[in-house]
Structure 1
């Protein structure tokens, strides 16, 4: 069931993207390893993708919303599994796992048509 409006998803994209960039410093795992670089890279991908997505908060509106959501799901899977894939689960894994699972959830529950394109019952855009 897709219940998250695309505008809300857009806000989450920018907020979570920024969070992923700063959280290694805030939580003390900014050590120059994959524990730091994976979330920071995916944070940049989230912000860049948000800017290029065809929804209310997109700047260039080039990426269709279903493609954006697929990228979010793939990014969430990578982030959630990264502590084990890159061998740093013995030091830190909770932030990666939690945000990754949340990203997957958002990708699966966000509407695929931007709110500014939803048609009214008579066929006109609202």
Structure 2
């Protein structure tokens, strides 16, 4: 069931991108290791992808919404599993797990077609 509009998804993209980048300092795992860098890289990727997505808040509009949502799902699952994949679960895992599941969930519940269409006047 897809109930989240692409416009709301766009707002969440920009907010979550910034939150993911800041999360190592907000939650105290800014030790320079994989636990710190993974959410930061994902956050920057979210912001960059959002700028290029073909939806209301995209600037360049060259990435299809379906590609964006599929990427959200894959990256979210990767982020959720990252504490165990990279061996830092004993240090910190909850922010990565929660943020990853939220990212994956957003990819599953967002409408696949934006109300914005570049060919409409």
Instruction: Report the TM-score, using the length of structure 1 for normalisation.
Output: 0.92
CA distance in 2, matches of 1:112, 1:99: 21
In the other structure, the counterpart of 2:26 is 26
Instruction: Return the alpha-carbon distance in structure 1 between the equivalents of residues 77 and 116 of structure 2.
Output: 29
After superposition, the C-alpha distances for 1:36-64 in whole angstroms (9 at most, x for unaligned) are 00000000000000000000000000000
CA RMSD between the two structures: 1.1
Q: Which has the larger radius of gyration?
A: 1
Equivalences, count: 119
SS at match of 2:116: helix
Structure 2 residue aligned with 1:54: 54
CA separation in 1, counterparts of 2:15 and 2:75? 15
Instruction: Name the structure 2 match of 1:109.
Output: 109
Unaligned runs of 5+ in 2: none
Query: For residue 45 of structure 2, what is the aligned residue in structure 1?
Result: 45
Task: Note the C-alpha offset of 1:24.
Answer: 0.2
Q: 1:35: how far off?
A: 0.2
Question: In the alignment, what sits opposite 2:63?
Answer: 63
- Report whether the alignment pairs 1:91 with 2:98: no
Report the CA distance between 1:115 and its aligned residue.
1.5
Q: Which runs of 4 or more aligned residues in structure 1 lie more than 2 Å from their structure 2 counterparts after TM superposition?
A: none
Q: Distance in 2 between matches of 1:115 and 1:5?
A: 8
Following TM superposition, by how much is the alpha carbon of 1:116 offset from its aligned partner in structure 2, in angstroms?
2.3
